[in-house]
A = this chain, B = another copy of it.
Amino acid sequence: MKVEILKENLKSGLSVVEKIVGKNLSLPILDNVLLNTEDNFLSLSATDLETAIKIWILTKIIKKGKVVVPAKFLSSFVSLLPNEKILLEEKKQGLSVECKNFRNQIQGFNPEEFPLIPEFKNLEYLEVDNRKFCQGLAQIADIASPSQSRPEISGIYFIFTKNLVKIVATDSFRLAEKNITLEEPVKKDITFILPQKPAREIINTLGEKEGKIKIYFSSNQTMFEFPMKEAAHPQVQITSRLIEGEYPNYEEIIPKKFKTHVIVKRDEFLNQIKAASLFSGKINEIKIKVNPQNKEIEISAQDPDIGESQSIVSAKIEGEVIEASFNHKFLIDGLLNIKSSEVIFDLSKEEGPCVLKPVGDASYIYVVMPIKST
């Protein structure tokens, strides 16, 4: 392999693939990036065996070939090089890097030992606006359960139905659903459960790109592909295994009727919950009292070692007086996932599920369970 590449292009490519690379003591090959020539592109690939990222960079290819070198090391090193052309060359099972006054040789691995990344050629895909997809996924991905005791809810559930993709996550204390319109309706419903890590990689890597994202899937794998304009290769592919198992029938949990309907300013409500959270003690409990008479929400918390907190926020309130206790973390997470200046807060009864929604956007819903009074 021998290629000439601009420092900035190599640096930005490495900064994408290095994110998936950890410090893998039992399988050190996974700490590496595979550099490969494909037509007039240099591809960079990294994998943790569950998620893989591959990107393509337009490059002057002088000689074809493959090299495998430590990903984070190469990335740190390249970022110190001057903003010039870099000559990368395979030498002594490693990579020679030449740039202006720099001559470097990086020890590598045998490219044959690098794990194969599954390909999805000639298969069907679905298409959706990339920024809407990534923004929606970002409102959902962190809700998934961190515990592995129920693997199916440790991932993010995707339902492709009619002209929609529904993205869902829950940890059994709260649940969020986002609906995004597909470019074309699906012929039959498709569902799968994506692990949390590739979901985060999609958000981080593709979040800002304008265009359409292609979603490929098989029975146990999925691939998210962002295309490159008028090129033989895509810009980025993120491939992941899927989580086996059946996702719970989550729609049952979303309440349809409410006792009390509230519209409140998001920032003020969020700030008061944060302030109360400091006084909430070990079980994170804060009390919320919704009063339609004086149109006020009272937020309070107390702990004998810390003190007491009480604050009041004005709101539009319809329905009955309700008082319920919440884990402040779950309310804060929900409000942080909503970007509108006002939020809808619907309460059913003291111990029933409540709902947070943005005002003026029916595509997102966040369901949270109160803490049961003892």
B307 to A274, Cβ gap below 8 A?
no
Q: With an 8 A cutoff between CB atoms, is A275 at the interface?
A: yes
Asked if A278 meets B77 with Cβ closer than 8 Å, knowing A305-B107, A306-B107, the reply is yes
Among B73, B103, B272, B308, the residue within 8 A (CB) of A101 is B272
A311 to B103, Cβ gap below 8 A?
yes
Q: Which residues of B contact A313 (CB under 8 A)?
A: 101
Q: With an 8 A cutoff between CB atoms, is A271 at the interface?
A: yes
Q: Which residues of B contact A274 (CB under 8 A)?
A: 80
Q: With an 8 A cutoff between CB atoms, is A204 at the interface?
A: no
Query: Chain A 102-128, CB within 8 Å of chain B: the 1/0 string?
Result: 111111000000000000000000000
A279 to B104, Cβ gap below 8 A?
yes
A80 to B306, Cβ gap below 8 A?
no
A275 to B80, Cβ gap below 8 A?
yes
Q: How far is the CB of A81 from chain B (nearest CB, A)?
A: 7
Q: How far is the CB of A256 from chain B (nearest CB, A)?
A: 33
Q: How far is the CA of A312 from the CA of B103 in the complex (A)?
A: 9
Q: What count of chain A residues pass the 8 Å CB interface test?
A: 30
Q: With an 8 A cutoff between CB atoms, is A161 at the interface?
A: no
B306 to A102, Cβ gap below 8 A?
no
A310 to B278, Cβ gap below 8 A?
no
Q: With an 8 A cutoff between CB atoms, is A76 at the interface?
A: yes
Q: How far is the CA of A102 from the CA of B278 in the complex (A)?
A: 13
Q: With an 8 A cutoff between CB atoms, is A40 at the interface?
A: no
Q: How far is the CA of A106 from the CA of B103 in the complex (A)?
A: 62
Q: With an 8 A cutoff between CB atoms, is A181 at the interface?
A: no
Q: Which residues of B contact A309 (CB under 8 A)?
A: 102-105
Q: With an 8 A cutoff between CB atoms, is A94 at the interface?
A: yes
Output the nearest chain B residue to A80 by Cβ-Cβ distance. B275
Q: How far is the CB of A86 from chain B (nearest CB, A)?
A: 13
A310 to B275, Cβ gap below 8 A?
no
Q: How far is the CA of A312 from the CA of B99 in the complex (A)?
A: 11
Among B105, B305, B312, the residue within 8 A (CB) of A308 is B105
Q: Which residues of B contact A80 (CB under 8 A)?
A: 271, 274-275, 278
Asked if A101 meets B275 with Cβ closer than 8 Å, knowing A107-B307, A306-B106, A306-B107, the reply is no
Output the nearest chain B residue to A270 by Cβ-Cβ distance. B80
Output the nearest chain B residue to A82 by Cβ-Cβ distance. B271
Q: How far is the CA of A309 from the CA of B98 in the complex (A)?
A: 10
Query: Chain A 176-206, CB within 8 Å of chain B: the 1/0 string?
Result: 0000000000000000000000000000000
Among B104, B272, B306, the residue within 8 A (CB) of A310 is B104
Residues of chain A in range 267-316 having any CB-CB distance to chain B below 8 Å:
271-272, 274-275, 278-279, 304-313
Q: How far is the CB of A127 from chain B (nearest CB, A)?
A: 42
Query: Chain A 323-345, CB within 8 Å of chain B: the 1/0 string?
Result: 00000000000000000000000
Q: Can you list 17 pairs linking A and B with CB atoms under 8 Å apart?
A: A73-B278, A81-B275, A82-B271, A94-B307, A101-B311, A101-B312, A102-B309, A102-B311, A103-B309, A103-B310, A104-B275, A104-B279, A104-B307, A104-B310, A104-B311, A107-B304, A107-B306
Give 4 closest A-B pairs by Cβ, nearest first: A106-B307, A80-B275, A101-B312, A102-B311
